[in-house]
Amino acid sequence: MRILYTFLLCTLLALPVHTAVAEDALFGGLKSLTIGSESSEPLDVSEAFVWGKPTYQNGQLALNWTIPPDYYLYRDKFRFQLLPNAALALGEAVLPAGEVTEDPLFGKIEALYNFVEAKVPVQRQQPGATDMVLRVTWQGCMKSLGICYPPESRVLKASLPAHNSSSAGAMIELVEIDPDGIDFNAPAPSANGDKTAAAQASSAATTTASPSVSAASSTAASSSELLSEQDRIAGMLAGDNTLLVLLSFLGFGLLLSLTPCVFPMIPILSGIIAGQKGITTRKAFALSLVYVLAMALTYTFAGVLAGLFGSNLQAALQNPWVLSVFSALFVLLALSMFGFYELQVPAALQSRLNELSHQQTGGSFIGVAIMGVLSALIVGPCVAAPLAGALIYIGMTGDAVLGGMALFALSIGMGIPLLIIGTLAGKMMPRAGQWMEGVKAVFGVLLLAVAIWMLERILPVGLTLLLWAALCIISALFMGALSALPPAVSGWLKLWKGLGIMLLVHGVLLMVGAASGGHDVLRPLKGVFGGAGVSAQHITFRKVKSLQDVEQALAQAQGQPVMLDFYADWCVYCKQMEQNTFPEPAVRAALGDFVLLQADVTANDTVDKALQQHFKVIAPPAILFFDRAGRELDHLRLVGFMGPDDFSQHLNKVP
């Protein structure tokens, strides 16, 4: 769609000009209108390819160009060359995928339009402070006139601090300097001042942008290793096939629907449908669709804001007051399911809502939409690689349209199972009677489970285990776990009682686990027998709060690799990593040589936000890795949950 729009715009701009495009057979009839008119003047090279402010941070150069419509840059004409320096070397440049097109000068090429960002790794060979002098070369064309500009070059300079200094991770702006007298082909001086062939070979190399670097078209393993998963997904958005991108994000959403962040929405939606009187399949589908669309639109809107402004609305709402109020709302809904009372709004408001929706109060589309909005904002604040990739793309390019479309496709994929489950719930819902009351009680228990699940983010582990124990034991008693069965009873009642007994036993085990320092709801006795087993299985982090804390820890690492974990109590994936990944023996063994840092951003205060903005972390969970020289390894950054086997293999990639 963007390509079609750009093509039409360029065509309209070219109509009053005697050009090769105007001579095309499709526009042959317009030639007579253009003869004798003034030719359109091409832009100056500085206006055709607007050079952004180049920066260096954490071992990576970031350069960008803004390109007006009808102009493009050649992807394979970028060159990045260091002035020979034994302390520095360039890695392979990372550029977005280009549009394959037929160029009048070079034949079939990859053209880059609109906005181009190049990321170039800089490898420090020596830890001391040094000057970096870089030559950047690029070349582009004007599409409609077929005019190709000569190659353009800039020479930049920056003073890089020592690795272990307090300013090692700070962002540095490169300053343009006069290239006269600078010889980029001279041999590099070695550490003792001698000019050696080895230093020249390692430092004077020129790096180019290989077509295989892009995440969308990557075919070489060495190129794909340079990008983290979220960066590869962000690169996918820079491709031209919008339909393929949206289908891919729809698939990502379907995969995310199987994660713990979406599970709590199932009882919420099912409980809404179960609370209806005389529900039909059609109405169940309509209610489910309204819920999913409200959730998707909210998820998209919040994501676009986070990408454009770097402010995560979902994270801001994960505070004790909001979570407590929302949990209390679920408790009230659950009690209404048990028949303690019937929720009703004031008569005046009820009549207005009926006029708007022509539905019963409990099933009004407005109420369901509000629940969908709240569910997106509060229930599921999980960050995974596809979401992070879309937000990185929005923040980098400012393209909120394509980024928002991708987020909407992602959230619709997450909502498809909810739509199916909600519709089936309406189809399978029993008619009014004792069965209906039993079904409503089941959904009431599930809503109480959601309330406890949300309170886990702000309550101590022992207290939440007791709440789970209370829910299991009380539910088991209502299921007749301790009641005698009459002589003539159906198999269904026996099954029901058996399930109640199992729930009762698990509730008792949860109480024992809570009293013994257990942490896991599904495995409450893990580590109870054996004394210090629990603490021995959990790795110990050094807590950091500010950027200064991180820089100090990196300076004190003394040649060890560093892992920085961004954690929050309200982050579901963070707790999964803490309970299921970090304690595993293979992971603990692989982390033996690491300095382990953890930034707890639960409070989401000013210092937390500043630290996340510095490292471009959208929200936890995010795990950053630094090499033995204190440089961040961007391509190894993790976002979201990773199991112990994959995580231990990932750790082995850290040099």
Residue-by-residue DSSP string for 41-106? PPPPHHHHSEE---EEETTEEEEEEE--TTEEEEGGG-EEEEPP-TTEEE---B----EEEEETTT
Residue 361 has pLDDT above 90, yes or no: no
Strands 595-600 and 542-544: parallel
Residue 55 has pLDDT above 60, yes or no: yes
In the predicted model, what is the mean pLDDT of residues 303-322?
70
Residue 348 has pLDDT above 60, yes or no: no
pLDDT of residue 32: 34
Q: Give percent above pLDDT 70 in the chain.
A: 73
Amino acid letter, residue 112:
L
Listed range (371-375, 379-383, 411-415, 588-592) with the worst mean pLDDT? 379-383
Q: Give percent above pLDDT 90 in the chain.
A: 6
Segment 573-616, tens digit of pLDDT: 888 888 888 988 889 888 988 999 999 988 888 898 889 888 88
In the predicted model, what is the mean pLDDT of residues 261-284?
77
Q: Where in the chain is the domain with CATH 2.60.40.1250?
A: 45-221
pLDDT of residue 39: 41
Residue 566 has pLDDT above 90, yes or no: yes
CB atoms within 10 A of CB 263: 17
Identify which has the larger pLDDT, 632 or 531: 632
Answer CATH for 45-221 from 1.20.58.110, 1.10.10.10, 3.30.1330.20, 2.60.40.1250: 2.60.40.1250
pLDDT of residue 311: 61
Residue 245 has pLDDT above 50, yes or no: yes
Highest mean pLDDT: which range of 275-279, 283-287, 389-393, 545-549: 545-549
pLDDT of residue 624: 93
Nearest to 430 by CA among 443, 449, 448, 412: 443
Rounded CA-CA distance 569/295 in Å is: 23
Which pLDDT band holds residue 505 (cuts at 50, 70, 90)? Answer: very high
Rounded CA-CA distance 235/229 in Å is: 10
Rounded CA-CA distance 25/405 in Å is: 36
For the chain, the average pLDDT equals 75
pLDDT of residue 239: 62
pLDDT of residue 16: 38
Say which DSSP state 578 is in: I
Say which DSSP state 195 is in: B
Segment 120-146, tens digit of pLDDT: 888 877 777 888 888 898 888 888 777
Which pLDDT band holds residue 233 (cuts at 50, 70, 90)? Answer: confident
pLDDT of residue 436: 61
In the predicted model, what is the mean pLDDT of residues 156-176?
77
- Taking the CA of residue 638 as centre, how many other CA atoms within 13 Å lie in the half-sphere pointing to its CB? 24
Which pLDDT band holds residue 534 (cuts at 50, 70, 90)? Answer: very low
In the predicted model, what is the mean pLDDT of residues 14-18?
38
Identify which has the larger pLDDT, 78 or 18: 78
Torsion sign across C-alpha atoms 483, 486, 489, 491:
positive
Contact (CB, 8 A) for 300 and 285:
no
pLDDT of residue 381: 64
Residue 460 has pLDDT above 50, yes or no: yes
pLDDT of residue 213: 32
Indicate the pTM of the whole model.
0.55
Identify which has the larger pLDDT, 83 or 395: 83
User: 3-class DSSP state for residue 228?
Assistant: coil
CA angle 167, 168, 171 (to 5 degrees): 75
Listed range (144-148, 403-407, 415-419, 454-458) with the worst mean pLDDT? 144-148
> Could you tell me which residues are beta bridge partners of residue 230?
none
Which pLDDT band holds residue 240 (cuts at 50, 70, 90)? Answer: low
Which pLDDT band holds residue 222 (cuts at 50, 70, 90)? Answer: very low
Q: Does CATH place domain 538-651 in 3.40.50.2300?
A: no
Rounded CA-CA distance 53/175 in Å is: 9
Listed range (216-220, 308-312, 398-402, 543-547) with the worst mean pLDDT? 216-220
Residue 651 has pLDDT above 80, yes or no: yes
Residue 100 has pLDDT above 90, yes or no: no
Contact (CB, 8 A) for 361 and 354:
yes
Q: Where in the chain is the domain with CATH 3.40.30.10?
A: 538-651
CA dihedral 632, 638, 639, 640 (to 10 degrees): -150
Rounded CA-CA distance 311/395 in Å is: 11
pLDDT of residue 564: 94
Residue 153 has pLDDT above 60, yes or no: yes
CB atoms within 10 A of CB 632: 20
Which pLDDT band holds residue 35 (cuts at 50, 70, 90)? Answer: very low
Highest mean pLDDT: which range of 241-250, 294-303, 588-597: 588-597
Rounded CA-CA distance 201/86 in Å is: 9
Residue 21 has pLDDT above 50, yes or no: no
Identify which has the larger pLDDT, 100 or 41: 100
In the predicted model, what is the mean pLDDT of residues 110-127?
85
Cis peptide before 621 (omega within 30 of 0): yes
In the predicted model, what is the mean pLDDT of residues 89-114?
81
What token pair was written down for 503?
A: 């729930």
State phi, psi for 319 to the nearest 5 degrees.
-115, 160
Segment 613-631, tens digit of pLDDT: 888 887 788 899 998 888 8
